[in-house]
Amino acid sequence: MLNVQQKREFVDGSKAALPLIVGAIPFAILFGTLAPTSGLSALATIMMSVLVFAGSAQFIVLALIAAQAPIEMILLTTFVVNLRHLLYATALVEHVKHLPLHWRAILAFGLTDESFANMSQRYMQQDKSNAHYFYLGSICCFYCTWVSFTILGVTLGSLIPDMSNWGLEFAMSVTFIGMVVPYMNSKAMISAIIAAGISSLTFAHLPNKLGLIISALIGVAVGLTVTKFKNKQLSYE
Amino acid sequence: MNEAVLIIGMTVITFTIRFVMFAFAGKMTFPNWLALALKFVPPAVLTAIIVPSVVMPQGYTDLSIDNSYLIAAIFAVTVAIYSKSLLKTIGLGMMLFLILRYLAM
């Protein structure tokens, strides 16, 4: 059983997740509502939240399913989009490497943008002996919310008929716009975004949604080049 | 589309990415340029999805004022820049889109 301190860490972790959860609830509902109109069954929609548990990847996959992309392309895109979690794991590994493997596996499963935000704050404090319970609390709270509100969204979607005629696919575009704009805070990032946008139009007619991956890679390459160039200029000064 | 294969594939891929560093417990590192490159991935992928879906909603490039997708998207970008709120961006962007669609009917 948990001792007092472990319990407190668990509760504190759940509380720390609350503000992020409030922000995520509309997306869980939106995901549950949109998924069936993109062509995914209700069961698969719920299972995706239960097993994959990766918000932005889940939305991107919906867009690809709606565009009838082949499964290989969908999996490749999942890989590329979720690669950023490697960064999070690299930042956190120092604090979890002493834990037994099953603990590390559970914490890895729940490593999302939100739990990373919670944990990078928690690990700044002095006493870290039971911080993994804080991590677990944050994950549990977030996971239960994500899954239950996905189910709510699926239910709402099935109650309201003809939702596919409402132009809900635009809800996805506008969600992505809201996610991209906050990134536009440096020359490198803006160049990457513009390059990806132009390339996506240029390669729009390639088969199998191949244009998506190519445009993303071009965007990343442009972003890296601009960063390198800026660093060089700085070192000359 | 085989949904079971899709879900299992996504689960394995996502979990592997999240677990690999924890599994090796710090005995593995990756180069700096890769870490830098990863930061550009989410906005680049999202942009590459958004732009064609609003510029060519019908499958061909449509830069006219009748393209409600494009007009509402430009409006949403403006809202996002000034409000810095994801929910306002979605709410107002979606509202303008539905109004334009209604007017076009």
- ipTM for this model: 0.88
Q: CB–CB of A177 and B44 under 8 A?
A: no
pLDDT at B18: 95
pLDDT at A162: 67
Mean pLDDT taken over chain A: 88
Is residue B46 included in any domain, yes or no?
yes
- Residue A157 pLDDT greater than 90, yes or no: no
Taking only residues 26 to 85 of chain B, the set having a beta carbon closer than 8 angstroms to any beta carbon of chain A reads: 26, 29-30, 33, 35-56, 61, 69, 72-73, 76-77, 80-81, 84-85
The residue of chain A nearest to residue B62, with distances taken between CA atoms, is A201
pLDDT at A78: 93
Q: What is the pLDDT of residues A188-205, one digit of tens each?
A: 999 999 999 999 999 998
Q: What is the pLDDT of residues A27-64, one digit of tens each?
A: 898 899 888 888 899 999 999 999 999 988 998 899 88
Side chain identity, residue B36: L
pLDDT at A190: 96
Identify the residue with better confidence: A163 or B71.
B71
- Residue A75 pLDDT greater than 80, yes or no: yes
Contacts of A71 in chain B (CB under 8 A): 1-2, 5-6, 9
A82 touches chain B (CB under 8 A): yes
Task: Looking at the structure, tell me whether residues B26 and B45 fall in a common domain.
Answer: no
Confidence band for B95, pLDDT divided at 50, 70 and 90: very high
Confidence band for A113, pLDDT divided at 50, 70 and 90: confident
The alpha-carbon gap from B66 to the nearest alpha carbon of chain A, in Å, equals 15
**Helices (DSSP H) in chain A: which residue ranges?**
4-38, 42-47, 55-66, 71-82, 84-96, 101-109, 113-122, 131-159, 169-180, 187-202, 210-236
Q: CB–CB of B90 and A108 under 8 A?
A: no
Angle at A203 between CA A200 and CA A208, to 5 degrees: 100
pLDDT at A217: 92
Task: Looking at the structure, tell me whether residues B47 and B88 fall in a common domain.
Answer: yes
Q: What is the pLDDT of residues B80-91, one digit of tens each?
A: 999 988 888 988
Q: How far is the C-alpha of B20 from the C-alpha of A167, rounded, in Å?
A: 40
DSSP class per residue in A91-159 = HHHHHHTTS-HHHHHHHHHT--HHHHHHHHHHTTSS--TTHHHHHHHHHHHHHHHHHHHHHHHHHHHHH
Structural domain total, chain B: 2
Is residue B59 included in any domain, yes or no?
yes
Task: Looking at the structure, tell me whether residues B24 and B58 fall in a common domain.
Answer: no
Confidence band for B26, pLDDT divided at 50, 70 and 90: low
Q: How far is the C-alpha of A216 from the C-alpha of A77, rounded, in Å?
A: 10
pLDDT at A236: 60
Is residue B88 included in any domain, yes or no?
yes
What is the average per-residue pLDDT within A119-125?
A: 86
Is residue B1 included in any domain, yes or no?
yes
pLDDT at A40: 92
Confidence band for B36, pLDDT divided at 50, 70 and 90: confident
Is residue B6 included in any domain, yes or no?
yes
Confidence band for A84, pLDDT divided at 50, 70 and 90: confident
pLDDT at A200: 95
pLDDT at B1: 66
Task: Looking at the structure, tell me whether residues B45 and B19 fall in a common domain.
Answer: no
Least confident piece of the model among A38-52, A88-102, A212-226, B11-25: A88-102
Is residue B35 included in any domain, yes or no?
no
Q: How far is the C-alpha of A196 from the C-alpha of A215, rounded, in Å?
A: 5
Other beta carbons within 10 Å of A23:
12
- Residue A234 pLDDT greater than 70, yes or no: no
pTM of the model: 0.81
- Residue A207 pLDDT greater than 80, yes or no: no
What percentage of chain A carries pLDDT values higher than 70?
95
Hey, of B2, B7, B33, B47, which one would you mutate to test binding to chain A, going by the most A CBs within 10 A of its CB?
B47
Task: Looking at the structure, tell me whether residues B47 and B16 fall in a common domain.
Answer: no
Confidence band for A213, pLDDT divided at 50, 70 and 90: confident
Task: Looking at the structure, tell me whether residues B6 and B47 fall in a common domain.
Answer: no
Task: Looking at the structure, tell me whether residues B55 and B8 fall in a common domain.
Answer: no
Is residue B36 included in any domain, yes or no?
no
Question: Containing domain of residue B76, as a range?
Answer: 41-104
Task: Looking at the structure, tell me whether residues B66 and B23 fall in a common domain.
Answer: no
Task: Looking at the structure, tell me whether residues B22 and B60 fall in a common domain.
Answer: no
Cα separation values, A14 from A53, A61, A129, A233, Å: 17, 28, 18, 45
- Residue A86 pLDDT greater than 90, yes or no: no
What is the average per-residue pLDDT within B63-73?
A: 93
H/E stretch holding B19:
helix B3-24
Task: Looking at the structure, tell me whether residues B57 and B93 fall in a common domain.
Answer: yes
Structure tokens at A156: 């709402």
The alpha-carbon gap from A215 to the nearest alpha carbon of chain B, in Å, equals 6
